[in-house]
Each structure stands twice: as C-alpha cells, then as structure tokens.
Structure 1
C-alpha cells in the first residue's frame, strides 16, 4: 500500500520546505506520518464533538497523549499510533453516543481530513499550522504536569478550542488571535508544570554535574520526565547500579528530591542528535521517557527501552505499571565499564553546572541588580532552545564565545550542550553561564525577566536582555508564542526560520514583534549592542 507524506513541523525538514518522500528527515516513514495525520484528524474530531458536551479526565488524557504522540521524534511505531486513534474514537463516541453510526457529516461524528489543512491558502495554512504545532508542544508540558497529579481546567479546555479552530473556516485575524491566545495559555501551562515539579521535587539549586562514568553497571535515562527518573532511582536503590542523565534530563540533578539519591551520578553524552554515535557502544541500557528518540541502530537496539508515549518498533516498552525490571536486568547483564571512564563536553569540559531556576536566580537578585547598576554586567543573553544536527548551529557556540566578557549567558533546553561546558568565569561570584533547566523552564527565564523589569522600573523590552533562540520542534513553537503574547520584541531566531511560516505570516511577526532571523554572531552582536 502506498502512503502519502507531508510534514514540515520541525526545523530540519527537507529542503526547508517539507518532507514528502518515503521517509522524513527525522526518520519516520510515510506510513507513520500518515497515521499521525489520521490521529490529528481524530483529535480535531474529538474537539468538535466536545462542544456542548461534558468532557472527562479520560477525554483530556486522550487529547494530551494524542497530541504528545505526534511531536517530532516521539513515536515511530504504526501499531501504537493505531491504538491511540482507536482510543480517541472511543472517547468521541462516549461524548456523543447518539452520533455513533450517524451518516450525517456535521463535524461532530467524523474525523477531520488533514489534506484540507495542507491544501489551504498559504497564510491560513501557516496560521493553522502554527496553532497545531503550538498545541502539540503545550500538550507535552500539560502531560508531564498531569503525570504528577496537576492539571488546570482552563488549560485543558483550550486544547479543544484550539484544535476545533483548525477544522473550521476562520479568517486570518481570528487565527492569529488564537495563536496568541495559545501563547497566553501556554504561560499558565508552564507555570503549572513548574509548580508540579517544584512541589514534588523541591526548588532546583545550583549543582555541579560530572561527565565521568564510574565503573560498574549503569543506566542512561533521557527525555524530560522527572517522575520516571524518580521511579527508576527508587527501583535501582541498593542494587549497585549507577544512573546517568542524558539530554534534557540533565537539570534533574538540581532537584533536592532527586539529587538525594547517591547513585544518581552524573550526565552522559550531549544533545539528542548525537545519540546514534554516543549510544552505539556503551555497555548499558538507555531508557527513553519522552521525545528526542532517533531511529535506533541495530548495534544498540537490544539496549533501548521506551515508556509513556514514546514507542519504536521492536523495542521493549515499559507500560503503565512502571516496572523497570527489564532495564535493570539489562544493566546488570551488561555490567558497565570495568574501570572509570572520563568523558568531556563538546568544548572539552569535564563537568557543568545546572540548577539556576527562577528561585535560585531571584535569591541573588540584589547581587544581579547592583552588578548592573555598577556597570559590572552590561547585558544578559538568553541563548538556548533546541539543539540539532545542522552545522549552522555552531552559530550559538560562536555567539557565546564572542559575547562581551561583562555579559551573562542564561540558557535552557538542550541547545546549551553547544557551550555549557565552557568556563567563562564569574561576575561578583555568579557564573557567566547559568543553566535554567529544561525547555519548559523558559518559565523561569520569564519570571526572572519580569522581576528584573520590576527592580529597574521598566518594561521587559527595556532591559539589557536579548533572546537568541534555537528551535527544532513543537515545544519551541509554543514557547515562542508565549513570548509574543508577553509582547517581547527583538528576538533572534534560528538557525533558520520555520518552513510553515508563510511570507505573509512572517511579515506580520517581523513588523509587529521585530523577529530577527539570525545571521552571523559578529553582525548580530553588533546590532544588539549598538
């Protein structure tokens, strides 16, 4: 059976326009892509069916897990996507039981055909894609909060409003308003996840994390789900197995309720795009808790385990019971390294520091404010976001290297792996590079910026603060919409602009918010500082 593919939701999409061949740049094949479209169409149908009907916790879970499943590098398994489609259909039938089997196509008993979206007028398609991809990113954050027992009725309700808007014939101005409303709701969603994480695991505090891997059995855990890490730490306690974080799991070392486990040792590897090389020969299993899974090479396929919405054909999946026994057995079987192994970051450093969340940074607010007033700090740069494989991403390393020596680099997400192991010195006892955490910890950056604006009695855009962001997938999209909702301007975005932004929509963003495509570090720094 021939399958059709069209996908342009990630930064590395083919030809900067869209993946249309037998497989996408991310590695998903055309069948998987088509099924993800079917799942999205089913979710739009569920959203339309919810209008005037009472949703349940089960309905919300289906919406969030379904959207999360379609985020880039999450699910490559056609069978589990089919199961998710079936789940969404059952939830829709539960919402509107009288519509089951009805032949009338009123939008309340059928799936949306995604071909209608891809064939829309260019600017309408662009705005609807912006909404869809933003909702996918926000769903990941809401899902993580839900796992910890936190939810917000208004956040959950908006997923249905936003998804329904994609299936309706709305004018450009209403779609743009919906995109900005998504940014507003995502701010609340990130606040909710921050609350869930800090009330469950404590407020992060700065922690030095080693890149050394000690001898003996170990497990590498990657992704974003802190609760999965907590469960793994509990199940491996006193078993002689060391745990190492990877990718976006690095900030876990800063949380009091996680770093109290002595066998949470350090961080292995760099960002997600290097996993096929880094995982190729390690004598240990790898547990994927969220997105950033790349197609698994045969050389280490027997050592990869997935959980939650992550799935890959042929890999062992840890279900809702969260029994990590198969992972533990594999770690003990492989045995780890016979001697300690020293590893370094991209720039040769053997450790990094994480844990500069809003609570930690604001506790030093007086020092920061006085340093600015006295001229010791000239500028703040938030340099972070998603990492990726394209060589153009060296821009971010070079930008940090060339930033003035009296500037401070705030960073977050896996984009920090480009430079976080550099030693740029300190200003008044504060390191010049401060890792604020995962991508969702953009909330910490926003809180910090708002507090500084209050301290200096100015607006956020009047601060000596510039955002230099790298994007790859849909969580970066919803964060950008949040920044636009807050009215933040002069954001530098790269390494290249999203393919789903039409010229018309891009023109709006440039005129209204002064979005700057990155050029080269020297030119951009000169423009920012002068």
Structure 2
C-alpha cells in the first residue's frame, strides 16, 4: 500500500524529527504500519493482562508474547511485513482468552469489575467492559487490511493533547521495547520474573490512560528504568548461570584456513546450538558485532572451533559481509538490507526477518548453514590481523578491586570513563574514537555494546598491569558496569555520583533508551549523551532531565574532557 509512515524511535531518524516515507533503517511504510498495529494490539493485551493480574489471574503465554511482540518491532529486527500478521492475531487471541477468564471470575462478584476499572483507569460509572480501543479491536483478515489499521493507530494518532505527556509515553514505550528484548533473551535461558511481567503489563497498559499527569509520567519512566534493571539482571543470571562468568580472553581478528560461519546479533543460546551442531565438521565459527564478548564465556570458548572475530559494528555489515567467505547467521536485531553479493548466504533466526532470506525456525536446525559453509570452502589461508581482549565483566574487574582501589588511592588512576553504547553511521560518532584517543594515560576506559568498535582494537597500554581499556561486554552488560560502580562506591565509602567515574554514552535504538532510563532511575547524574538527543523527547522533558539529572549532550572531546577533569 505504501501510505506515509511516521517513526522516530531511533537516533538516525530522518532530519532528526521522524521518518515519513521510508525508514533510514530500511523499513518500508507497510512494515511500519503493521508494526504499529502490533504495538496497538499488544497494549490491549497488556491492558487486560494487568487487570487480570490484579485479580490473581496470570498467563505465562501472554507474558512471553508481549516480550516477543514488542522486541519484534525494535529497530533493525524484522523487516518482513508478512511475519507480523500471525503476531497481531496471536495478541488478540491471548487477550480474548484472558478477558474470558476475567469475565468468569467476575460472575456474581459486583466489586470485581470496580477493581478492574480502577486498574485500567476507567471512571466508576463507565460500562462494565473494557473501553473501545486495543482491548476490543479485531484485526483485519489479511495483511493489506492490517496495514490500513496500522495507519489508523500510529504515533501521530495518540489523542493525548499534552506534548510532554506524549513525549514521556513514547519514552516508556521505547524503554519497554528494550527491556522486553532483554527479558526475552533471559526467558530463553530459563530466567523469568513475575515482578518484571507485572511491571511490563502495568507500564504498557498505562500508555492508554488519559487520566495521568506529568508527575505520574515522570515516575512511570523511572519505573520503566527499574523494570529494565530487573530484565538485565535476569539476562545476566541466564548468561552467567549457563555459560559461566566471562574471563579475560584474547580473541583473534584474523582468520583460519577453511570453512567458516559468521554469527551476528546478541544471542548466546543460538551461538551455543550452532557450536554444538558444527562440532567435528571442520568449520570455524566467527563472531560479528555484539557477539564479540561471547568469547569470554568459559562454556562457549571451550569449543576449539570457536575461533575469532570478523568485522566491526552492525552498520558496516553491508561492506563487511560481502568479504566473508561463508554463511552469516543473524540472531537478533541489527540486520540491514542484504546486498546482492551475499543475500543468498544470509540466514535469520528467532525474531529476525528480512523478506527473501532463509529463516531458521524454532527447531534451530542449522544444517543449511553447515552445508553452505562446506560448499563455499571458507578462507583460503591463515591470516593474522592481531587480537583484542574481552571478558572484563563484573567478576573479572571486582576480582582485582583491591588493586584498583589501591591504584586510585596512590594517584596512579585519576579517573574512569565508561564510553559505550550503540554505534551508527552518522559522522558525528567519530567523537567517541577521538574522545578515547585523548583520554590521559592515568585514566581507564571501560566500554560495552557496539559503540566500542570505534576504538576496540586500540592499544591503550596498562597501569601497573591493569589494562587501560576494559571490555565489559554487550549492551545488556550495563548491569555488570552498574555492579562495578556500586562495588567501587562501597569500597571508597561514597555515593556512585561521587566516584571518579564519568559516563559518555552513544545511543541508537530502544535498548539504549532502556539503559538510560535505568541509569536515571538509579540516580546517576552528569551523563553525556550523543551523538544527537532523541527526537521523541520534548523540550520541557529535556529541560527536566538537565535540571534534575544534569544530563547533557556531547560537545567536543576536548571541551568535555576539560569539563570532566578540570
């Protein structure tokens, strides 16, 4: 249909205001519309699930679906409009099942509907039913009809008149998308939380309410940050519980002669399954993007054919993947439109989708990749492009906490910088590489997420054996970074904001929004954020963040370092 769209959920949105014809990410208007419809349907599911939960009625299938559904709409995850049709239908199916269970519970209980109405923000004299909207709508019969419905329920159609409340609502929605992505990964590894699910439904249902004021919405953004903290804690428990705590590990950046498979995205479980299925096949497994930190996990690096890392961050894949002599598996978000040179060897799995690519289903049978890798033959010879160190998550860093504290007290370490977040294609992102280049030699840089690829292979040396560049891990390992900061604050008997620690962050998509809300909800102040500020943050909301959290946009490396270090 290709009607106009509106999307401003990522940092690279067109003109810094919103994509209206086609997404900068490559998302077309039809896909944008059906994604908007899925979010609309999911809000209705959460509205009913929240009311049901208030009465002790829960449904794990609904809980898991909300995580998966919202994750599917996160930037650079699924560009295949057809894949959203069953998701919309499933949201309505789960919603109606919960409504039926609620109605059964309410029979003969005059007070129950009063409680339900209060839970979803209805007036006491309103009808004994859910209000007309996402809790009652029925999806069209086909994709074309759903696209029309999606255009009716996009961002500009929110009836809320207050610009600042609209801004905070969108902030909560995008924060929840990021938190649900982490919660979905955690659930795959057996880590779930009723506390998280309850907050997820409450917050998503709240975005339908028209009876909340600005102060309520400010609190809801902080609640979203706390919910994401729980999601990251769950994922940390899943990753470390199954694969062990990361340890410092040297990762080759070169290649080994022979067949090869490259794994991109974020999912450790998919990587493990691929490693098991390729044992003894003579195939080397390489990581790409945010899969780099996987080399530090003991239960993954025990596989001798888990060899090295190929390429850099997600936005470079169109140039890098055409040079990789084997199939590429995309496990989570960060896929871009595959170029013709490698489109026939891109494979997606999980929630990832691109029209025309081969999708590995829930059975996780990676035979097509294995056959493709053997057919292509891989790298013609061994190459040596140096190496990088990973594995400096909280256990590794806190294991030498006494040494770190001593180095600070003796004046050997003046300051810590957490320089991390999302990478992207905008030229302004060179700021982060330039910043690290100019960090004085008596300072330590911690980094995480794909933002590190601006400088991950730099040799910054060490301070009495402690590397000056410490890779904490993936974006979700912000949990580890927070634990490190809290532990150091305890060691110095001070607040986190009093530590010689500064956060210089880059953002691109919704997981970064979730992490920022987590940091703010913990009271972390004086964060520098770039390369641009979110388009969905209104001027008044930005002023609130500046006044209450001293958050500020990046300027130049020279000016920011001078302001921080004096």
Global fold match (TM > 0.5): yes
The CA deviation string for residues 338-367 of structure 1, in whole angstroms up to 9 with x for no partner, is 112344xxxxxx211000000000000010
Match of 2:201 among 138, 144, 160: 160
Q: How far apart are the structure 2 equivalents of 1:446 and 1:522?
A: 26
Question: For the residues of structure 2 that align with 1:119 and 1:339, how far apart are their CA atoms?
Answer: 61
Change (3 A) 1:52 1:427: same
Question: Quick check: 1:105 aligned with 2:132?
Answer: yes
Report 1:225-374 matches (<5 A): 225-343=267-385, 350-374=386-410
Question: Shift of residue 4 of structure 1?
Answer: 2.9
Q: Distance in 1 between matches of 2:463 and 2:101?
A: 67
Write the distance in 2 (CA, Å) between the matches of 1:432 and 1:195.
27
8 A Cα contact 2:436 2:455, kept in partner: yes
The CA deviation at 1:43 is: 0.5
Partner of 1:220: 262
* Superposed displacement of residue 98, structure 1: 8.0
Cα deviation, residue 108, structure 1: 3.2
In the alignment, the residues of structure 1 paired with residue 339 and residue 160 of structure 2 have an alpha-carbon distance, to the nearest angstrom, of: 35
Residue 117 of structure 2 is matched in structure 1 by none
Deviation of the 1:159 alpha carbon: 1.1
Aligned residue for 2:517, secondary structure, equals helix
1:473-511: CA deviation from partner (whole Å, max 9, x where unpaired): 000001000100111100000011111111010000000
Q: Does 1:401 align with 2:404?
A: no
Counterpart residue number, 1:52: 51
Larger-gyration structure (1/2) = 2
1:225-256 Cα distance to aligned partner (Å, 9 max, x none): 00000000000000000000000000000000
Correspondence list, 1:65-214, <5 A: 65-97=68-100, 105=132, 108-110=135-137, 113-114=153-154, 115-117=156-158, 120-169=161-210, 170-214=212-256
Alpha-carbon shift at residue 49 of structure 1 (Å): 1.5
**Residue 374 and residue 428 in structure 1: after superposition, are their counterparts in 2 closer, same or farther (change >3 A)?**
same
Instruction: Give the aligned partner of residue 439 of structure 1.
Output: 475
Instruction: Give the number of equivalent residue pairs.
Output: 522
Following superposition, the deviation at residue 214 of structure 1 comes to 1.0
Counterparts of 1:137 and 1:226 in 2: how far apart (Å)? 17
d(CA) in 2 for partners of 1:99 and 1:377?
59
Cα deviation 1:247-272 (Å, max 9, x = unaligned)? 00000000000000000000000000
8 Å contact from structure 2 (residues 50, 198) kept in 1:
no
How has the CA–CA distance of structure 1 residues 106 and 212 changed in structure 2, closer, same or farther, with 3 Å as cutoff?
closer
What is the rounded CA distance, in whole Å, between the counterparts of 1:323 and 1:489 in structure 2? 46
How do 1:11-26 residues align onto structure 2 when only pairs under 5 Å count?
11-21=11-21, 23-26=22-25
Aligned partners of 2:556, 2:314: CA distance in 1, in Å?
24
Which blocks of at least 5 consecutive residues in structure 1 are unaligned? Answer: 344-349
Q: Aligned partners of 1:84 and 1:428: how far apart in 2?
A: 54
1:107 Cα deviation from its structure 2 partner: 5.7
Task: Give the Cα–Cα distance (whole angstroms) in 1 for the partners of residues 442 and 494 of structure 2.
Answer: 21
Q: What corresponds to 2:32 in structure 1?
A: 33
Q: Deviations over 1:49-74 (max 9, x none)?
A: 21332231211111010010010000
Q: Counterpart of 2:4? A: 4
TM-score normalized by the length of structure 1: 0.96
Unpaired stretches in structure 2, ≥5 consecutive residues? 104-128, 139-151
Q: Give the secondary-structure state (helix, strand or coil) at the position aligned to 1:384.
A: strand
CA distance in 1, matches of 2:515, 2:465: 30
Contact 2:506 2:529 in 1 (8 A): yes
SS in 2 for 1:134: helix
Q: Write the distance in 2 (CA, Å) between the matches of 1:474 and 1:278.
A: 25
User: Partner of 2:323: helix, strand, or coil?
Assistant: coil
Instruction: Give yes or no for contact 1:99–1:109 (8 Å, CA) kept in 2.
Output: no
Alignment of 1:476-515 (within 5 A): 476-515=512-551
Equivalent position SS for 1:366: helix
Q: Map Cα deviations across residues 114-170 of structure 1 (whole Å, 9 max, x no partner).
A: 343387432111100100000000001000000001101010111111111111112
Match of 2:123 in 1: none
CA distance change for structure 1 residues 103 and 503 in 2, over 3 Å: closer, same or farther? closer
Residues 118, 125 of structure 1: 8 Å contact kept:
no
2:228, 2:18 → 1: CA distance? 26
- Evaluate the alpha carbon distance shift between residue 354 and residue 106 of structure 1 in structure 2; reply closer, same or farther with a 3 A threshold: closer
Matched residues in 2 for 1:218 and 1:107: separation? 47
Q: C-alpha separation between the residues in 1 aligned to 2:134 and 2:534?
A: 30
Q: Look up the match of 1:346.
A: none
CA separation in 1, counterparts of 2:488 and 2:100?
53
CA change 1:106–1:34 in 2 (3 A) is closer
Q: Normalising by the residue count of structure 2, what TM-score does the alignment of the two structures yield?
A: 0.90
The question of whether the paired residues in 1 share the 8 Å contact of 2:414 and 2:442 is answered with yes
Cα root mean square deviation, aligned? 1.6
